[in-house]
């Protein structure tokens, strides 16, 4: 029997891992994540070596995948292939919860624990440290281009 791991709170987002690489022989990781209304969310990014599938459980989140916007409500899904730049937010009227499937299982609880340590330290987060943790775990941040005045 597989037990749900501890809850990880990274900034305003809550993550509960249901399956990790060790549970699936490395084939998939599975976690629930909850995003409060207007929560601060990760910068747009892409994954170098894994795909991600999102399944809506409650509320609705808006994902932007390679420039295309899609709302994910309960029972709806979206597939994010490796290399696709994506991000999400919750600008709706209620908290949202979704299930994420990572294939293969190259992203696990350690990523979220490391991000939480930076985000929960108090004060503005160290953006350079966040980028280093993302890169260490195969997430490549894509920061908006700054316009020259």
Could you please report the per-residue DSSP string of 50-93?
A: -EEEEEEEES-EEEEETTEEEEE-TT-EEEE-TT--EEEE--SS
Q: Look at residue 147 and tell me if it is in a domain.
A: no
| Domain region containing 96 | 7-141
Q: Look at residue 146 and tell me if it is in a domain.
A: no
Which CATH number belongs to the domain containing residue 113 in this structure? 2.60.120.10
- From CA 53, how far away is CA 55, in angstroms rounded? 7
Return the pLDDT at 6.
74
Q: Look at residue 1 and tell me if it is in a domain.
A: no
Could you read off the pLDDT tens digit of each residue along the chain, which spans 149 residues?
455 577 999 989 999 999 999 999 999 999 999 999 998 888 899 999 999 999 999 999 999 999 999 999 999 999 999 999 999 999 999 999 999 999 999 999 999 999 999 999 988 888 899 999 999 999 999 976 655 54
Q: Look at residue 62 and tell me if it is in a domain.
A: yes
Token pair 């994420």 in the structure block, residue: 100
Describe the crossing of helices 127-136 and 109-119 by its angle, rounded to 10 degrees.
180
Q: What is the pLDDT of residues 63-83, one digit of tens each?
A: 999 999 999 999 999 999 999
Structural domains counted in the chain: 1
Question: How is residue 109 annotated by DSSP?
Answer: H
Q: Look at residue 148 and tell me if it is in a domain.
A: no
Q: Look at residue 78 and tell me if it is in a domain.
A: yes
Q: Look at residue 108 and tell me if it is in a domain.
A: yes
Q: Look at residue 82 and tell me if it is in a domain.
A: yes
- From CA 136, how far away is CA 129, in angstroms rounded? 11
């Amino acid at each position: 029997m597989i037990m749900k791991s501890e809850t990880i709170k990274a900034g305003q987002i809550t993550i509960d891992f249901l399956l990790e690489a060790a549970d699936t022989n490395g084939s998939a990781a599975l976690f629930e994540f909850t995003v409060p209304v207007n929560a601060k969310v990760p910068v747009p990014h892409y994954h170098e070596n894994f795909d991600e599938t999102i399944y809506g459980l409650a509320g609705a989140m808006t994902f932007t995948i390679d420039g295309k916007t899609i709302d994910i409500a309960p029972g709806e899904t979206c597939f994010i292939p490796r290399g696709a730049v994506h991000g999400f937010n919750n600008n709706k009227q209620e908290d949202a919860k979704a299930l994420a499937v990572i294939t293969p299982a190259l992203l696990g609880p350690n990523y979220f624990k490391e991000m939480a340590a930076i985000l929960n330290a108090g004060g503005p987060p160290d953006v350079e440290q966040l980028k280093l943790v993302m890169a260490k775990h195969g997430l490549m941040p894509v920061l908006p281009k700054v316009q020259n005045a």
